[in-house]
Amino acid sequence: MPKPVLLLTRKLPDAIEARAARDYDARLNSSDDPWFKDGAEIARRAAECGAAGVLCAAGDPLGAATIEALPPSVRIVATFSVGTDHLAIPAATARGITVANTPGVLSFATAECAFTLMLMAARRAGEGERMVRARAWTGWAPTQLMGVTLEGKKLGIAGYGRIGQELAAMARAMRMEIHYHNRSRVAPELEQGAIFHADARDFLGAIDILSMHIPGGEATRKWLNAEKLSWMKPGSIVINTGRGGTVDDPALVTALSCGHIRAAGLDVYDGEPAIHEGYYGLENIALLPHLGSATEETRNAMGHRALDNLDAVLLRGTVAPDAVR
């Protein structure tokens, strides 16, 4: 039996490419050639090689037009990400194509990234690093770069799924008080004392630091807008490691410029890799290049999880464990 053809849109960790090449007729993109940025090109290559599966990644444009242009040979699109906002799931379902993601395995790493940004924003670490690198540091001074401590602060987690819950566990160790806003209240064993706010205004008015973990897509677009920012206490901090589109960038720039929001930390951007110009001119913001899941352990786990999904459909003819609808 010939091995099923698997089209990989992106360069993946060595162990993942080796497993793919062992079990499939794998068409690798080991140079990370940016053809993956073009949905028509993804569909063209899938047709050219007769792909049975496509292994894509966050941000690859697999919207309705790309999904509809995929050849009939494609039975599964497995994404190397937990986020699925780049995939037209209804269009895939209508064509009988399974879509699967990689939940769970990146929760800790992404929470770590949110925590990193929280510390960078609260303790002005980015400003300090830039000062040292610019050779502008003249020595320790009692009032230099004073930030705020996390201890005792009220952390508000918007979107209390796996990543938000990991962040809550880390924040408890810093003696923070945890609040959350979610579609629905979670079970007490997951809540672990965190305070649920059904109402966004009530939530945003209660907290000192907001960490965003809500999924991307039209329904959550610009969720954090000027009005919601105005509900936050003066001197609050905003962190986003979810999806860039959930924040209204000009509104956040204004709130940071006037000091209503003390500091921010972003890992994700609307239309990334482009970044809203206003952020570059601000000192009180830490900007990371979408590093949320970027640990060796996590990226390997994500690759194995994506291949597990592909194997289920293409090698065993069963349901993908992480099939999404």
Distance CA 311, CA 7 (A): 14
Q: Which is nearer to ligand DGY, 81 or 182 (CB)?
A: 81
Q: Which is nearer to ligand DGY, 12 or 207 (CB)?
A: 12
Residue nearest to ligand DGY (CB): 83
What minimum distance in Å lies between the beta carbon of 97 and ligand DGY? Answer: 19
DSSP letter assigned to residue 69: H
What minimum distance in Å lies between the beta carbon of 164 and ligand DGY? Answer: 14
What minimum distance in Å lies between the beta carbon of 188 and ligand DGY? Answer: 28
Q: Which is nearer to ligand DGY, 76 or 261 (CB)?
A: 76
Subset of residues 261 to 320 that bind ligand DGY, contact rule: CB under 6 A: 292-293
Q: Which is nearer to ligand DGY, 39 or 292 (CB)?
A: 292
Q: Which is nearer to ligand DGY, 159 or 292 (CB)?
A: 292
Please give the angle made by the CA atoms of 91, 94 and 97, to the nearest 5 degrees: 80
Is residue 129 among the annotated active site residues? Answer: no
| H/E stretch holding 130 | helix 125-133
* Residues 254, 279 contacting (CB under 8 angstroms): no
Instruction: State whether residue 8 is helix, strand or coil.
Output: strand
Q: Which is nearer to ligand DGY, 311 or 322 (CB)?
A: 322
What minimum distance in Å lies between the beta carbon of 303 and ligand DGY? Answer: 12
Is residue 272 among the annotated active site residues? Answer: yes
Choose the catalytic residue: 75, 243, 299, 305.
Answer: 243
What minimum distance in Å lies between the beta carbon of 307 and ligand DGY? Answer: 15
> Which segments of the chain are extended strands (E)?
5-8, 25-27, 53-57, 76-80, 98-100, 154-158, 177-181, 195-196, 209-212, 236-240, 261-266, 285-287
Choose the catalytic residue: 19, 44, 260, 290.
Answer: 290
Choose the catalytic residue: 17, 41, 191, 272.
Answer: 272
Subset of residues 47 to 106 that bind ligand DGY, contact rule: CB under 6 A: 58, 81-83, 106
Is residue 181 among the annotated active site residues? Answer: no
- Stretch 198-227: interaction string toward ligand DGY, x if CB under 6 A: ------------------------------
What minimum distance in Å lies between the beta carbon of 292 and ligand DGY? Answer: 5
CA–CA distance from 86 to each of 39, 45, 57, 243, 308 (Å)? 11, 19, 9, 11, 21
Is residue 247 near ligand DGY by the rule CB under 6 A? no
- Number of chain residues interacting with ligand DGY (CB under 6 A): 7
Cis peptide bond N-terminal to 273, omega within 30: yes
Cβ neighbourhood burial of 110 (10 Å; 0-12, 13-18, 19+): buried
Dump the DSSP string for 45-58. Answer: HHHHHT-SEEEEET
For residues 283-322, one letter each, b for 16 or more C-beta atoms within 10 angstroms of the residue's C-beta and e for the rest, the string is ebbbbbebbbbebeebbbbbbbbbbebbbbbbeeeeebeb
The residue ranges that bind ligand DGY (CB under 6 A) are 58, 81-83, 106, 292-293
Q: Name the residues annotated as catalytic.
A: 243, 272, 290
